A = this chain, B = another copy of it.
Amino acid sequence: MLALLSQQDSYAYELASRLAADVGMGEGTIYPLMRRLQSDGLVRTYLVESTSGPPRKYYKLTPAGRSAYTAQKAEWLGFVDSINAALREPR
């Protein structure tokens, strides 16, 4: 989520569509997550009118969100390395 928002502001429905395609994550996961990010101060929101339906609630990373992204990205990469090491390790 933070990665996607670091690239460009977006709204939950769009993020949900994208993540549904990529990793099988649905709206029921996204909306509560966005709330959590907001209450943690990592994102802020603004409304934008749409011609194709109700107004969209865009999410934008805050400075705290950006540094959380940096930290979590590093943590993720380390985690993946550990797992991949275990997967590779022949024996």
Residues of A within 8 A of B (CB): 3-4, 6-8, 22-23, 73, 76, 79-80, 82-87, 89-91
Contacts and interface: CB of A to CB of B under 8 A. Distances in A.
Given A76-B83, A80-B80, A83-B76, A91 B22 contact: no
B91 A23 contact: no
A2 to B, nearest CB: 10
Contact of A22 (B22, B76, B86, B90): B86
Contact of A7 (B4, B79, B82, B91): B91
A73 B83 CA distance: 10
Contacts of A8: 91
Contacts of A90: 7
Nearest to A77: B87
